[in-house]
Amino acid sequence: MFTISQCRKLSENEFEFWVEAPLVAKKAKPGQFVILRINEVGERIPLTIVDCNEQFGTIHLIFQVIGKSTAELAQLKNGDQLHDLLGPLGKPTAIKNYGHVLLVGGGVGIAALYPIIKGLKQAGNRVVTILGAKTKELVILQEECRKYSDQLIIMTDDGSLGRKGLVTDAMKAVFEFEKINHTWAVGPSMMMKFCTLTAENYHVPIFVSLNPIMIDGTGMCGGCRVTIADSVKFACIDGPEFLGSEVNWDEFIMRLGQYRKEEAVAFETYQKQVKEFG
C-alpha cells in the first residue's frame, strides 16, 4: 500500500499527488514513470514521475481526468492509499550537456516535461521552454518550469495567457532565431507528431515521450509496442523516449484508440455508480 501524503486540484480536470514510495523516490530519474493500481479491481495505469523528495520518500504525480481510473484517482484524499505502485520504470532521459536545448510541453504533458527541463538545466544546458495549453488554467507548473528555463514561452489556444497559437508556431520562431542542438516534445500524440515535423524541417533532432497503452510496464506483454525505425520496440522498457523522426506516428496514434469504446463504457458505468451511491 502506498499512502497519498498530499493532494491538490490544479485545474478543472488536473490533479497532483505526493505519494509515499521511498524506494521509487530514491531511484527515479527524469523521463521515468510508475505503474499504479488504485484498488483490487483496478487497472494498471502509467503516470510520469514529475519530481521526487528523497528525504520524505515521496514522489510527485500529476494526472488529468480522462476516464474511469483517473476520475477515481481524483476522488482520493490525503491519507488514502493506492493498492499498488511499481517503479521507476522506463529508460531515463539522456541528460547531458547538449549546449542549447528547446523543450516543448503540451497540456498535462507539461508535468512529464518538467523533470527533463530541470535535469537538462542542472546539466548546464541553455534551456528554452515552450508550454502550450488550451487555456491559461491548464498551463500547469509554470513557476517550476520558469525556474529552470533561460527563456519561457507560453502559448494558449484562446490567447488567455502568453501568445495565442500552437506550440509549433513558437518552435518555428525559436528555430528561426537561434541555433538549437536538441529538442524534446511531450504532450498529446498529435502535438508530438507535429513538433517532430517542425523540428525535422529545421534539421534539429527531437526526442518525444510516447504514452501508449500499457499493462505490466516491465516488457512482459508487448501491449505498448511501437514501431521505431521499422523495428518493434516496447515503450515500457525501450522507451518511453524515442527519436521523433523514427516513430511510426500513424500506427502509434491508431493503436492509442484501441479501447475507446470500452473506455467510454467504463467511464459511464463509474459515473452512474458515483451518482447512485454518492
Among 158, 259, 271, 274, binds another protein (CB under 8 A): 259
Residue 43 sits in the site that holds another protein (CB under 8 A): yes
Judged by CB under 8 A, the number of residues near another protein is: 41
Residue 171 sits in the site that holds another protein (CB under 8 A): no
CB of 217 to another protein, least distance (A): 9
Query: Which stretches of the chain are assigned E, i.e. beta strand?
Result: 2-9, 14-20, 33-37, 45-53, 58-64, 81-82, 84-89, 100-106, 126-133, 151-156, 163-164, 182-186, 206-209, 225-228, 231-234, 241-243
Q: For residues 91 and 64, what is the distance between their CA atoms, to the nearest angstrom? A: 23
CB of 232 to another protein, least distance (A): 6
Residue 85 sits in the site that holds another protein (CB under 8 A): yes
CB of 251 to another protein, least distance (A): 4
Nearer to another protein, 178 or 268 (CB): 268
Among 12, 159, 262, 271, binds another protein (CB under 8 A): 262
Residue 51 CB-density burial (10 A; 0-12 exposed, 13-18 middle, 19+ buried): buried
Which of 110, 123, 90 shows the shortest CA–CA distance to 50?
A: 110
CB of 162 to another protein, least distance (A): 36
Query: Which residues, 6 or more positions from 46, have their beta carbon under 8 angstroms from its beta carbon?
Result: 33, 34, 35, 89, 211, 214, 217, 236
Residue 86 sits in the site that holds another protein (CB under 8 A): yes
Binding to another protein, residues 218-237 (CB under 8 A): 218-223, 225, 227, 232, 237
Which of 192, 221, 4 shows the shortest CA–CA distance to 112?
A: 192
Nearer to another protein, 161 or 266 (CB): 266
Among 69, 149, 168, 183, binds another protein (CB under 8 A): 69
131 within 8 A of 153, measured Cβ to Cβ: yes
Question: Binding residues for another protein, per CB under 8 A?
Answer: 23-24, 27, 37, 41-44, 68-69, 83-89, 215-216, 218-223, 225, 227, 232, 237, 248, 251, 254-255, 257-259, 262-263, 265-266, 269
